[in-house]
Structure formats: C-alpha cells, structure tokens
Structure 1
C-alpha cells in the first residue's frame, strides 16, 4: 500500500469516529438540553391483590317459562313475534275453540237432562212419601223411590260440575303471558296441533338476571350466600360485581360439580345465554403496586420514571393486575424506589425532577 492510500484510509477512520456519538443506541449525536420538571414523586409500595378461582358460566333469566296450551287443539293465531316484549296478561296465541264449544254443548245437554231427571225423581219421591204415610205403599217401594231421588240429586251435581268445567275450558283457548317478558323462541307455527305439556313458545323476563356456573367441590366448600364475585361478561367493557344467592349442595353425579347462582345488578343490559367468567376470591397475595398514572408508554414500551438524586431514569416494567386506580408491577423496579407518579408524559431520560405534592400546581420548567 502506498503513502497516499494510507493517508486516505486514516482520514476515513477519523471522520467516522467524529461522526459517531456517545449515545448507547448508536444514533448520531444530538444535543439534548435537560429539563427541570415539577412532578409528584412517590414510592413503589406493597399492595394486596385477591387470589381468584375463575370458572365459566352463563347469564340466565330469573324468570323463564315454556308456554303451552292447556287445551288439545289447533293453533289458530299467533299474536306475538320472537323478540317482542309483552306485559302480563297480553294475548300470546289462541287455540281453535270448535272442539271446546262442542264439549260445552254436550255438557249443557247432560246438565239439562240431569235437571229434568231430578224434577221427575222429586215428584215421585213426594208422591210416594205421602202414600207411605198413608200405608198405601210398602217400605221397600218407598226406599226404592228415595234412592232414585238421591241418585238424581248426585247426578245433577256431577252434570253441573261437568258443564262448568267445559265452560272454563273456553278460557284456555286464549293463552296469555303469565309475566312481563320477551318472547325468545317459538316452538310451533299457526295451524300446528297444540297439546297440554307441549311448549309452544318460550318467555323470559330479562329485567332480573343471574349468572349460573358450576364449581368444584373444594371451591364450593368455601363459598357462602352473600359472597361477592367479579363477573366478566362478553360485550361488557368493565367487570361486574355479583352476589351469590343460590348454592346447590347436591353435586352433579357426572362432573362432581355444584351449581352456584349469582344475582346481577338490574342496570346490566345483556342477553340471556351470554358467556361469563366468574372470579371467586380465594385469599390474597402481596405484590408491588404503583398508581396507574405513573405508567408511561414510549414507542409501545410501558415503563415508569425512577428518580435517583433528582434525575429521572426510564425503567421498562412488566405490568400485572389492576385494582382500582393502582396497578401491579411484576418486574422492572424495586420495592421502595422513588418514581414519578403523574405529570410524566413530557419527561425524558435524564431530566431533573423537582418533587411536589400532587395537589400543587405542576408545571414544566426549561
């Protein structure tokens, strides 16, 4: 290599060294003027987080009914649709009453015949009673007529009962809502044959909802009526506190789990059948916690500013669970570290921190 080539190479190396910076990131040096920022400072402290056993559940209505007809007959009209709200007493559907009307006519005819038979039996009884007193008929003849009169009275009572029952069946031709609710399912169509015990539609009251879940035997043993649990429901942005009101002591023979029901607040707007996760408290654990306002996000990295000798240093942290306005720190700081707990969005690594109370007027100073 000649002298000229060596000179050029040395010059390139020198220029490269001049262009490099002291930045740990290896970036081109940029002059940074450190700020003095007034900000509240607090310690990383211990906090308590409840230990939870989380189980799957579902939202269920407290009132649910499968509506069936008490009459055998064809469904004539449907007066409601799926999703429709109804009030107690509203007409849901009606049954063709032709068969019922025929039964009423038959029962009425039987009643009239029994009434006529009783009138004849009474005339015979009155006549034979007079003759028996005059010794014109034997006791055996009088007893026979008396028995016929008694049977006629009993037949009239039976016929009257049958007539009244037949007429009452006509009321069942119009099926009405037993409570306020929403029609959630139709199990038959107009023209189909309805029979007692065969559901025609399903009605639910969604103003009073619960969460139903199955829990293991060891968890069931520590639960009590009135205990609260955290419920997370699909579609709800925040967890909901629910209260246990039913603990079924009999375990399912297959899964060996117990049914638990929790009442939801009436303000919750959710559909029945929605998936839920129920967190039952099972003790507590201690962990490092800081105010949520202490967390800053820099380019997708979450961290806090630790203050040492009045200088702020950014520490990347690993976050855990949140409790109210505080959040768990799993790694990245030590217990007792002094950190900036608010007014930290404009702070840069190396800035000088003037510690103030959080209630003070906080302003940045150049």
Structure 2
C-alpha cells in the first residue's frame, strides 16, 4: 500500500514538472487593414479592382469623374480673365493720370493751372494706384484658386497606399463616391497576425513575448509565433481576453480569415508569475 501511494505521488510530481498545454482556436487577421475613400465627391467612372485582387503600392484602385472639377476650372478661368482685364484697365488709367499729373505739375510751376486742379489729379492718381494694387491681388488670388482646382485632378485617381489584397468593394462604376465613405477595403498581407480569445483563468500562464505554436490546417502550415499583445474584452460579462500573436508566414499562402490552431505551453513557474 505504501509503495502504491509512493508511486502515485511520484507520478503526480512528474506530471506537474512537465508543461501543460493550452489549446485555442483563432484566425488570421491583418494588423493593417485600410478603408479606402476619396477626398472629393464624384461619380466613379472606372473601378479598376475587384474583391480578391492582389494589388501593389501605387496601383490604381478607382477613378472619379472630373466633370465637377472641370466646371470649377472654367469658373476660375473666367474669374482670372476678368481680374486681368480689370488690372489692365486700371494700369492704363493710372498711366494716363500720371502723364497728365506730370504735365499739370509743370503748368502749376508756371502758374498756368490752379492748385485745385493739381490736387484733384494727385488724388485720382493715388486712388488708381490703390485700385491697381487691389486688381493685382485679385489676379493672384484667382491664379491661386486655379492652382487649387488643378491640384484636385490628382486626387481623382485613388491608388493603393501599400501592397495588399482587396477584401471588400463597396462601389461600382456609375455610383457616387462620397468623402469619408469607404469605397474599397485593402488588407496588408505583410502584417498578418493570429487573434484568439483566452479565458481570464488562463491569463496567469501567458505574457507578452511568450512563444506559441501555430498551425493552419487548411494549408498544412505550422510555425512558431509569439504573443504580441493582450487586450481586455469590450464585454466584461464574457471574462475573455483577446490575444494577438505575430508570426513569420515564410513563403506560405496565408490570408486573413484562415482558421488557426494555437498551442501555448504553460508550467508551474509561469503560473507563479
């Protein structure tokens, strides 16, 4: 009987000395998913991608019709023409008044014109000088507005900010693109992670940086990763915590949404921490 108790005690100690595994189910996500939207409103005239397309940085995603910007450009061109015409007329009048003023100054020295006539021309010259300066400012403002309108053309073509895969397309050709409303969703395949939920009671056995074993059964891919973050659940009633694990996908064709098995080895030392 004493031998049996001793054997069972040794067995328990042996099992406790070995690591105990925590098995979890998770899925692959991208840590860099972007909602692509346009800066200006307009109809989509060219949707260059479809769901599932793999795109490169700078590749055209979609293009917005330029009719509204073209209309704004025509209005600005008209404003520039009017401002330049006003400037030309004011400069011409100013030049004539200066010529007349110079003649009256000579005549005034000879007492051939009155001081009132001279002062009237001096006032007219000062007013026209102000009008010329105002017209010059108006021309510069109109030209700056033209530059602003022309700058909008480059935003009509929406391109990919990084390599990735199109996981959702919310607009088609002929539909209205609205600033702030996502048109396509781009997922970065170079920043993949595995996400899973772990119970509160198991938190004592894990920590950031701890190594884990990951398996994606659908492509028979196994690798090692490590816990990169532990995130409290937004719902306190579940008593669950979200963990994210980073890993090297190597040359495997890993995509967001893939089911993943996770094994985390724990031991008594981890529990004591």
TM-score w.r.t. the length of structure 1 is 0.54
Decide whether the 8 Å contact of 2:217 with 2:260 is kept in 1. yes
Structure 2 CA distance for aligned equivalents of residues 221 and 144 of structure 1: 83
Decide whether the 8 Å contact of 1:63 with 1:208 is kept in 2. yes
Question: Alignment RMSD, CA only?
Answer: 3.6
Whether 2:260 is the aligned partner of 1:276: answer yes
* Aligned length in residues: 240
Gaps of 5+ in 2: 1-10, 106-117
Structure 1 CA distance for aligned equivalents of residues 65 and 145 of structure 2: 21
Whether 2:64 is the aligned partner of 1:95: answer yes
Q: 1:169 aligns with which of 145, 152, 156?
A: 152
Structure 1 CA distance for aligned equivalents of residues 163 and 64 of structure 2: 22
Q: 1:111 aligns with which of 66, 73, 80?
A: 80
Structure 1 CA distance for aligned equivalents of residues 222 and 35 of structure 2: 31
Structure 1 CA distance for aligned equivalents of residues 241 and 97 of structure 2: 74
Residue matched to 1:78: 47
- Could you tell which deviates more after superposition, 219-228 or 268-277? 219-228
Q: How does 1:329-344 map to 2 (within 5 A)?
A: none
Quickly say closer, same or farther: Cα 1:146–1:50, change in 2 above 3 A: farther
Decide whether the 8 Å contact of 1:208 with 1:266 is kept in 2. no
Q: 1:229 aligns with which of 186, 190, 212?
A: 212
Structure 1 residue matching 2:63: 3-state secondary structure: strand
Q: How does 1:47-62 map to 2 (within 5 A)?
A: 49-62=18-31
Q: 2:183 aligns with which of 182, 189, 200?
A: 200
Q: For residues 330-366 of structure 1, give each alpha carbon's deviation from its aligned partner in whole angstroms, at most 9, with x where no partner exists.
A: xxxxxxxxxxxxxxxxxxxxxxxxxxxxxxxxxxxxx
Structure 2 CA distance for aligned equivalents of residues 149 and 78 of structure 1: 49
Q: 2:245 aligns with which of 251, 255, 262?
A: 262
Quickly say closer, same or farther: Cα 1:212–1:124, change in 2 above 3 A: farther
Decide whether the 8 Å contact of 1:101 with 1:170 is kept in 2. no
Quickly say closer, same or farther: Cα 1:138–1:191, change in 2 above 3 A: same
Q: For residues 263-303 of structure 1, give each alpha carbon's deviation from its aligned partner in whole angstroms, at most 9, with x where no partner exists.
A: 22132422202233444444249xxxxxxxxxxxxxxxxxx
Structure 1 residue matching 2:31: 3-state secondary structure: strand
Structure 2 CA distance for aligned equivalents of residues 281 and 139 of structure 1: 95
Structure 2 residue matching 1:260: 3-state secondary structure: strand
Gaps of 5+ in 1: 1-43, 286-366
Residue matched to 2:162: 179
Q: For residues 225-275 of structure 1, give each alpha carbon's deviation from its aligned partner in whole angstroms, at most 9, with x where no partner exists.
A: 433222333424354311233455xx4442365553322213242220223
Structure 2 CA distance for aligned equivalents of residues 161 and 282 of structure 1: 66
Decide whether the 8 Å contact of 1:128 with 1:137 is kept in 2. no
Q: 1:210 aligns with which of 193, 200, 203?
A: 193
Residue matched to 2:173: 190
Q: How does 1:19-58 map to 2 (within 5 A)?
A: 49-58=18-27
Structure 2 CA distance for aligned equivalents of residues 220 and 239 of structure 1: 24
Decide whether the 8 Å contact of 2:43 with 2:175 is kept in 1. yes
Decide whether the 8 Å contact of 2:97 with 2:121 is kept in 1. no
Structure 2 CA distance for aligned equivalents of residues 95 and 136 of structure 1: 59
Max Rg structure: 1
Higher fraction of strand = 1
Whether 2:120 is the aligned partner of 1:151: answer no
